[in-house]
C-alpha cells in the first residue's frame, strides 16, 4: 500500500485514484426475516470500482438510471460513506481522513447538482447563494472582499452585467441562468476537482450547448478536472476526453471517449450506443436492443452483471465475474468474450 501511495504522490498527473470502491446501502429487513436468514441485505450501488483520473481530464461516467453513477460521484467528494475500498485524492487517502481534514479538502472537491430548479434555495438571492460557501468556510475577512468575490464569480460564469442578477431570486431566472448561479457558487471556493451530476439534463436543448461550453472554458481558466456524470452519450462525446460505462455498480468499459464511442468493445457499450436516437436519417445505425430490465442492485446476478440480458452470454458469464482488463493502452473492458 505504501508503494502505491508513494507512486501516486510522485506522479503529478493523477489527481484522483479509486481502488476497489464499494458503496453498499443497508436495506431495513423485517426482524423475523433477519433472524431467520441471519444475513443483512444491501443495495450494492457501487460494487468494486477502480479507476484513475488524470489532472485536466474530463471523465464521463455514462450509465442508465440506477447504475450507481451518482453514488460514485458523491463518494468521490465525500458526500456518502464508503463501505470498502480506497479513494486517493492527490496522494491523500480521503477514505481514512478525519472529519476536520475532510472539511478542509472539500473546498477542493465540489459538486454541481442535476436540477437547478431544486438545488438552489428558493428563499435566497443570487448574492446569498454565491456568498454562502465563502462565509461558511470563513474565506473572506471583510464585506468588501465578499462582494468582490461574488461579483467576480458571477462574471466568470457569464452572468453579466452582474447588477441584473445579483438581487434576483432563483424563480426569476431561467434554467440556464440558474445552473450558472450553481456553478458560480462552486467556483468561489477555487476547487480543483468538480463532479458534475447531469448538469444539463434538465435544460432545454437550445441552452445545453452554452452551459457545456461554459464548463469547458472554466476548466481551462481554473485548471479544473471534471467527473461528468451523464446518461447521454452524445453529451459525453462533446465534453469529455475519457469515458467510463457503468452498469449495476460496475464499470464495464473505460477508455478514450473517441475510442469508446467509435469502436466500442463491450456488448453493453455497443448496445447503448446503437440505441441513441440519431438525428440524421442517413446515419441510422442498426439497433441492438437489450431485452428485459436492469436487475435490482439488491439481487445482482451471479457472474457478469449483464449476462441475463447479453445476446452473447456463455456458461462462464454465469459463473465468474469478469475483471476490468486493459486490452489496449488506456482501454479497459470487463468481458469474458474479448
Partner 1 sequence: MLKVDSLTIHYYSRRGVVKAVNDISFTLGRGEILGICGESGCGKTTLGLALIRLLPQNAKIVSGKILLDGRDILSLNDYELSNIRWNQISMIFQGAMNALNPVKRIGDQLIEPLIIHGKCSREKAFERAKEFLRLVGIDPVRINSYPHTLSGGMRQRVLIAMALICSPKVVIADEPFTALDVMTQAQIIELMKELREKLNLSIILITHDLALASELATKIMIMYAGRIMEYGWVKDVCEKPLHPYTQKLIKAIPSLSGRAVALESIPGSPPSLINMPKGCPFNPRCSLMLNKCREKEPALKEMDGRYIACHRIQ
The one among 28, 100, 123, 282 contacting partner 1 by CB under 8 A: 282
Of the candidates 296, 292, 274, 293, the residue with the CA atom closest to the CA atom of residue 284: 274
Least distance in angstroms from the C-beta of 263 to partner 1: 13
Indicate whether 287 belongs to the interface with partner 1 (CB under 8 A). yes
Strand segments, DSSP code E, in the chain are 14-27, 41-54, 58-62, 84-89, 92-93, 109-112, 193-197, 225-230, 242-247, 250-256, 325-328, 331-333
Contacting partner 1 within 169-198 (CB under 8 A): 174, 176
The one among 141, 142, 163, 280 contacting partner 1 by CB under 8 A: 280
Cβ closest to partner 1, residue 80 vs residue 290? 290
The piece of 24-32, 140-148, 220-228, 268-276 that touches partner 1 (CB under 8 A) is 268-276
Indicate whether 277 belongs to the interface with partner 1 (CB under 8 A). yes
Contacting partner 1 within 19-58 (CB under 8 A): none
Question: Helices in 27-171 by DSSP H: which ranges?
Answer: 31-37, 69-76, 99-106, 126-136, 143-156
The one among 207, 301, 327, 337 contacting partner 1 by CB under 8 A: 207
Least distance in angstroms from the C-beta of 286 to partner 1: 12
The piece of 162-170, 228-236, 316-324, 328-336 that touches partner 1 (CB under 8 A) is 228-236
- What CA–CA distance (Å, rounded) separates 59 from 212? 14
As to burial, measured by CB atoms within 10 angstroms (0-12 exposed, 13-18 middle, 19+ buried), residue 202 is middle
Indicate whether 295 belongs to the interface with partner 1 (CB under 8 A). no
Of the candidates 293, 296, 292, 313, the residue with the CA atom closest to the CA atom of residue 304: 313
Cβ closest to partner 1, residue 140 vs residue 207? 207
> If you write DSSP's letter for every residue of 179-207 in order, what string do you get?
HHHHHHHHHTT--SEEEEESTTTTS-HHH
Least distance in angstroms from the C-beta of 234 to partner 1: 4
Cβ closest to partner 1, residue 108 vs residue 210? 210
> If you write DSSP's letter for every residue of 16-43 in order, what string do you get?
EEEEEEEEEEEE---HHHHHHH---EEE
The piece of 21-29, 128-136, 156-164, 286-294 that touches partner 1 (CB under 8 A) is 286-294
Backbone angles phi, psi at 194, to 5 degrees: -125, 130
Residues 88, 271 contacting (CB under 8 angstroms)? no
The one among 7, 209, 298, 319 contacting partner 1 by CB under 8 A: 209
As to burial, measured by CB atoms within 10 angstroms (0-12 exposed, 13-18 middle, 19+ buried), residue 107 is middle
Helices 126-136 & 143-156 angle (0-180, nearest 10): 120
Cβ closest to partner 1, residue 81 vs residue 293? 293
Indicate whether 65 belongs to the interface with partner 1 (CB under 8 A). yes
Other CB atoms within 10 A of residue 279 CB:
9
Indicate whether 299 belongs to the interface with partner 1 (CB under 8 A). no
The one among 108, 115, 147, 210 contacting partner 1 by CB under 8 A: 210
The one among 59, 233, 252, 317 contacting partner 1 by CB under 8 A: 233
Cβ closest to partner 1, residue 12 vs residue 296? 296
Least distance in angstroms from the C-beta of 180 to partner 1: 13
Interacting residue ranges for partner 1, rule: CB under 8 A: 64-65, 174, 176, 204-210, 212-213, 231-235, 237-238, 261, 271-273, 275-285, 287, 289-291, 293-294
Amino acid at each position: 500500500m505504501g508503494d502505491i501511495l508513494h507512486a501516486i504522490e510522485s506522479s503529478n498527473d493523477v489527481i484522483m485514484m479509486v481502488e476497489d470502491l464499494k458503496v453498499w446501502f443497508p436495506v431495513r429487513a423485517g426482524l423475523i426475516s433477519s433472524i431467520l436468514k441471519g444475513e443483512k441485505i444491501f443495495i450494492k450501488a457501487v460494487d468494486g470500482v477502480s479507476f484513475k483520473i488524470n489532472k485536466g481530464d474530463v471523465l464521463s461516467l455514462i450509465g442508465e438510471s440506477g447504475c450507481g453513477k451518482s453514488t460514485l460521484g458523491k463518494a468521490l467528494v465525500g458526500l456518502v460513506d464508503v463501505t470498502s475500498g480506497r479513494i486517493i485524492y492527490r496522494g491523500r487517502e480521503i477514505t481514512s481522513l478525519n472529519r476536520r481534514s475532510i472539511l478542509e479538502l472539500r473546498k477542493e472537491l465540489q459538486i454541481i447538482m442535476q436540477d437547478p430548479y431544486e438545488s438552489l434555495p428558493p428563499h435566497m438571492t443570487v448574492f446569498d447563494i454565491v456568498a454562502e460557501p465563502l462565509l461558511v468556510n470563513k474565506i473572506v475577512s471583510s464585506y468588501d472582499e465578499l462582494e468582490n468575490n461574488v461579483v467576480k464569480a458571477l462574471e466568470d460564469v457569464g452572468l453579466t452585467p452582474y447588477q441584473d442578477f445579483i438581487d434576483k431570486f432563483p424563480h426569476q431566472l431561467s434554467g440556464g441562468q440558474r445552473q450558472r448561479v450553481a456553478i458560480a457558487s462552486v467556483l468561489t471556493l477555487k476547487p480543483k476537482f468538480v463532479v458534475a451530476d447531469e448538469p444539463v439534463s434538465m435544460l432545454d436543448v437550445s441552452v445545453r450547448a452554452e452551459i457545456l461550453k461554459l464548463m469547458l472554458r472554466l476548466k481551462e481558466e481554473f485548471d479544473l478536472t471534471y467527473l461528468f456524470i451523464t446518461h447521454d452519450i452524445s453529451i459525453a462525446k462533446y465534453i469529455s476526453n475519457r469515458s467510463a460505462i457503468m452498469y449495476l455498480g460496475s464499470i464495464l468499459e473505460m477508455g478514450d471517449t473517441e475510442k469508446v464511442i467509435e469502436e466500442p468493445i463491450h456488448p453493453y457499450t455497443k448496445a447503448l450506443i446503437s440505441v441513441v436516437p440519431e438525428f440524421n436519417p442517413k446515419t441510422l445505425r442498426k439497433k441492438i436492443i437489450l431485452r428485459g430490465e436492469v436487475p435490482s442492485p439488491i439481487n445482482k446476478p451471479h457472474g457478469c452483471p449483464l449476462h441475463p440480458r447479453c445476446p452473447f452470454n456463455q456458461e462462464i458469464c454465469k459463473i465468474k465475474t469478469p475483471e476490468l482488463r486493459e486490452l489496449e493502452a488506456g482501454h479497459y473492458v470487463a468481458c469474458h468474450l474479448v
